[in-house]
Amino acid sequence: MTTTQAAAAPWQERIFTLLKEAGVRQVAYVPDAGHAHVIRRVQADPDMRGIVLTTEEEGVALAAGAWLGGERAVLLMQSSGVGNCVNMLSLLQSGDFPFVTLVTMRGEYAEFNPWQCPMGRATQGALELMGLAVHRASTAEEVEDVVGAALDAAFRGGQRVAVLLSQRLIGRKQWVAK
């Protein structure tokens, strides 16, 4: 098991606020410690719906369906889940759907699990090959601008965008034996 930050960092709360301000009503996710604060805030908000997924590619379809139904959705996932989505991401381009995913990175800074490294290295390239614009937030100071720009690009400009939240930003994970 890994340890995570006990208290939310201000940038995590700002992500939630940006989602609200952008009119996001559905937030799809596979549980992830890096997104835990936003997930808890979404679950507690009566105007938003948090939808837990069994696998990340379901979130791509959910976001497309939300758009067809007149709502905005965002997919939260970890970099290891990007590989699960590659085929489904073709739906976004074929249907010309706007799309935003916030991806917490693994396999980068101080990674303890070597299994995470290959997909961590491939995440940006895989997303770009599937037609997504990819932006990165590596510091807390960058998060608001980068996430806000992604939401505008998608929901005002009709683009498909991924924001990579660096492992250094998320915080160093450590293996803890019980």
Pick the closest to residue 162 from 99, 86, 71, 94 (CA basis): 99
Per-residue confidence (pLDDT) for residue 171, from 0 to 100: 83
What is the rounded CA–CA span in Å between residue 59 and residue 98? Answer: 13
**Contact status, residue 64 vs residue 98, Cβ threshold 8 Å:** no
Could you give the CA distance from residue 16 to residue 13 in angstroms, rounded to a whole number? 5
Q: Which residues pair with 73 in a beta bridge?
A: 26
Residue 140 lies in a domain: yes
Looking at the domain assignment, is residue 117 inside a domain? Answer: yes
Please indicate, yes or no, if residue 5 is contained in any of the structural domains.
no
- Tell whether 178 is covered by a domain: no
**Residue of 28, 133, 134, 120 whose CA lies nearest to 79:** 120
In a domain, 76, yes or no: yes
Return d(Cα 149, Cα 71) in angstroms, integer. Answer: 19
Give backbone dihedrals phi and psi of 24, rounded to 5 degrees, phi first.
Answer: -70, 125
Alpha-carbon gap, residue 88 to 148, rounded angstroms: 25
Q: Is the residue at 1 inside a domain? A: no
Its domain, for residue 136, covers 10-170
Per-residue confidence (pLDDT) for residue 175, from 0 to 100: 63
Cβ(78)–Cβ(34) below 8 Å:
yes
The tens-digit pLDDT sequence of the chain (178 residues) is 333 445 788 999 999 999 999 999 999 999 999 999 999 999 999 999 999 999 999 999 999 999 999 999 999 999 999 999 999 999 999 999 999 999 999 989 888 888 898 899 999 999 999 999 999 999 999 999 999 999 999 999 999 999 999 999 998 776 666 6
We report the CATH number of the domain holding residue 51 as: 3.40.50.970
Residue 175 lies inside a defined structural domain of this protein: no
What total number of domains does the chain contain? 1
Residue 177 lies in a domain: no
